[in-house]
Structure formats: C-alpha cells, structure tokens
Amino acid sequence: MFDDISGEEAKQTLNFLLNAAVDVQMASTESIFIEKILSYARKIFHASAGSISMIEGNQLKFVTLQNDEVDIHHVIGKHKYIPLDTNSFAGYVAITGETLYIPDPYHIDADAPYKFNTLIDQETGYKTESLLAMPLQHPSEGIIGTFEILNPKDKYFHTLNIGIARNFSIIAAVSFINMHLRTSLQHSYLDTLERLGHVAEYKDEDTYQHIQRIRFSSQVIAEQMQTSKGFQEDIFHASAMHDMGKVGIPDHILNKPGKLDADEWNIMQTHAANGGSILKGSKSAILQMSERIAMSHHEKWNGQGYPNGIKGDEIPLEAQIVAVADVFDALTQKRVYKQAWPLNEALELIQHERGQHFAPAVVDAFFACKDKIIQIHRKHGFIIES
C-alpha cells in the first residue's frame, strides 16, 4: 500500500492524521463533527471546497457545504435534497460504493449514467474544475452517505491520498454512526425524563403548562444566580419531577376542592419523601438532582418546612430555587382549592418570605429576572396583572 509516495510524505500524513483523529473525536455535536470531517478531508487534498451528504430514505441530504473561495451561504438551503439515484455524482457513489474521480465535470462522457448539476456553480460563481466523490462506508451499516471534494490540487492527488481518503471515509462513517447513536440516546433519555415528569401530574388539569413554567422559571433563576451551564441544563430537566411523589397521594386528597384537614395534610406532605424514594439511587445526574428537588422543595430557609425541617444551605440550592418557582406558580395560578392571586400580591408574598420560607439569594435572583419569569407565565398559562 502507498507504494508511490515518499517516506517523508508518509510521515507528514501520519502526523496529520494522528492530530486529526483527536480533534474529530473531541467534537461535541454531530454538526461540529461533520464540519471537522469535511475540513480534514479537504486538507488532505488541499481542496478549496467540498460537501457531505447523508442518505435519508430515498434521498441524499446535503448536511454541509464548505467553500473557501465564494459565499455559499445562500445556496445551502436551496439544494438540501437530491434523489438517491445514479443521475448525480453523489447518488452514483452512494448507490455503487465506487470512488469517482471526475477530471472535468463540464466534459463528461455522454455514456456516463451521471450528469453534472451546474446550478450551484452558476449561483455561486465558483468553477468546479475537478471533483472526487467517495462513499461514507460503514463496515456493518453499509453506505450512509458520501463526500465530495472539489478542485483537489493535483500535487496531493495520487494513490496515497485515495488510499488514505478511503480509510478516512470509513473512520468518518464509523465515528459518525457512533456520534449519531449518542445523540439519539441523549434525545431518548431527555424524552423519557420529560415523560417521567409529566406522568406524575397526569391527573391534574393544566399539568403540562405547570411543569413548563416550573422548569423554565427554575432555569432562569439558576442562570441569574450564575450557576454553571451544566447546572442550568440539569435543573431544567430535574425540576419537572418535583411533584413525582404525588402519584402516591389518593385522588380525593389531591383534588379536594376545599382545605385539607389535619390527617389529609399529613398524607399530602408524604409526596416529598415519596418522590425522593421513587427517584433515589440513580446513576443519572439529572435523576439525582430531581431526587434532591422532590425531597426538599418544601423545606423552608428558617427550618419550618417538611419533610426533614432542614434549614438554610442544608437545603440543596436546586430545591431552594424550585421552592420559589413553585410557590410563585401556586399563587398566580388557579387551583381546585383557590383562585389565582394578582401579580403584585404574589410578588409581595415572595418578598415577605425572603429569609423566612425562601433563601434570600434566590429571592433576590427571582426579582432580578422577574420580567422573564412573568413572560414565561404568560406564555405557558396566565397571570393576573395587579
């Protein structure tokens, strides 16, 4: 293999690929990954432009176009899909698995199954002088897409590079599938978390909206408090499960139109510890946070809350935040046992409970971003202006 290159070129390529491998693997999202893959593929050939397309059903979808010479921003949206057939270079490669080198796309053999689509050149002013199209071929999944390299420099275009590019395309396909699996898994995980949050409040009316208000408000307060990005993302998902333990509360207590008597109130209060116990023992950081929120969102800063009567910073920050968001929500929205309060009265109560029910720092953050929170309430429910 690589018989026609010098040792010096092989050493350079080796060094290049080792560094590229690290950089590509460090990509945090699918789209960054795809941009990097194409960028390295272009570097191998010192090519000024290129594209990657992925198979979606019976179409090819262009997932990225890069061009160093002309602005292609306006054409990316227009040419997103082409049919998966042998009429195009990319389609031909995706179907046959062959590598296609076209020395001059404007003069193709009339017998060839594929034609050159000159539209992008016309719209951008770029001149495609030569073209290399290769399949993105996964060892077990088969061909998942193609990449095209436009105007590769002759000097870098020999057997070594075709060989490397073939290998590179396999590595890219494998990494892409791995990355895609992780993204799908992440979506599935967050989706399941969201359903877990909603299922607990399935019996209440207006539950979807309630949960949306709590998670967005909690996130906004956390952002105002300059917590880490990770904390802000986690509280968005974890706060949805704050009332998880309500699945264990009998309907006649949960939906009682009037005030609860002492026994009923005792049972109602068990929802905090119940929620904690449903959620406990997970390896998921989000579920661990949701356990702390479920357990402690009815604790009070002064130690007069439940279930454990802990106080001050014994109460996890995430639970301090959800406590404020949850009470503000309970006040401003109608419930089976009460009317909605006007905004100014609700705000007065939050302020009044600063250092009593609520953590002072959280109340301050709440007021600093209260316009955003009011906006969230308007979008996902309603609010009575004072």
- Residues lying near a second copy in the complex (CB under 8 A) are found at 1-2, 5-11, 13-15, 17-19, 21-22, 25-26, 139-140, 164, 167-168, 170-171, 174-175, 178, 181-182, 184-189, 191-193, 195-196, 198-200, 202-203, 244, 247-248, 250-252, 278-279, 282-287
Closer residue to a second copy (CB): 122 or 184: 184
**Smaller CB separation from a second copy, 233 or 364:** 233
Instruction: Give the N- to C-terminal CA distance of the chain in Å, as an integer.
Output: 79
- Alpha-carbon separation of residue 368 from 37, 44, 126, 303 (angstroms): 44, 52, 52, 25
Q: Which is nearer to a second copy, 279 or 325 (CB)?
A: 279
Between 2 and 156, CB nearer to a second copy: 2
Q: CB of residue 169 vs a second copy: minimum separation in angstroms?
A: 10
Helix or strand run (H / E) with residue 292: helix 285-296
We find the least distance from the C-beta atom of residue 341 to a second copy, in angstroms, to be: 29
Please, what is the minimum distance in Å from the beta carbon of residue 14 to a second copy?
Answer: 5
Q: Which positions ≥6 away from 29 have C-beta within 8 Å?
A: 183
Of the pair 176, 341, the CB lying nearest a second copy is at 176
- Look up residue 69 and give its two tokens: 């010479």
Q: What is the DSSP letter of 260?
A: -
CB of 318 to a second copy, least distance (A): 17
Smallest distance, Å, CB 316 to a second copy? 19
Find the shortest distance in angstroms from Cβ 241 to a second copy: 9
* Minimum CB–partner distance for residue 181 and a second copy (Å): 7
Task: Spell out the residues 6+ positions from residue 145 whose beta carbon is closer than 8 angstroms to its own.
Answer: 52, 53, 54, 55, 60, 63, 94, 135, 136, 173, 176
Residues 6+ apart with CB under 8 A from 199: 247
Strand, coil or helix: what is 384? Answer: strand
Beta carbon nearer to a second copy, 55 or 286 = 286
What region, left, alpha or beta, does residue 373 occupy, with left being phi > 0 and alpha being psi -120 to 50 degrees? alpha
3-state secondary structure of 111: coil
DSSP character string of 4-58: TS-HHHHHHHHHHHHHHHHHHHT--SHHHHHHHHHHHHHHHHT-SEEEEEEEETT
Give residues with Cβ within 8 angstroms of 95, minimum separation 6.
84, 85, 86, 143
Task: Report in angstroms how near the CB of residue 72 gets to a second copy at its nearest.
Answer: 30
Pairwise CA distance, residues 300 & 294, whole Å:
14
Least Cβ distance, residue 88 to a second copy (angstroms): 27
281: left (phi over 0), alpha (psi -120 to 50) or beta: left
Q: Please, are residues 202 and 75 in contact by the beta-carbon 8 Å criterion?
A: no
Please, is 298 exposed, middle or buried when counting C-beta atoms within 10 Å of its C-beta (0-12, 13-18, 19+)?
buried
Choose between 269 and 302: whose C-beta lies nearer to a second copy: 269
In the complex with a second copy, the residue whose CB is nearer, 6 or 122, is: 6
Task: List b or e across 360-379, with b for residues whose CB sees 16 or more CB atoms inside 10 angstroms.
Answer: ebbbebbeebbebbbebbee
Kindly state the smallest distance separating residue 212's Cβ from a second copy, in Å.
16
Instruction: Return the number of the residue (119 or 185) whose C-beta is nearest a second copy.
Output: 185
Q: Which is nearer to a second copy, 108 or 247 (CB)?
A: 247
Give the SS3 label for residue 81: strand
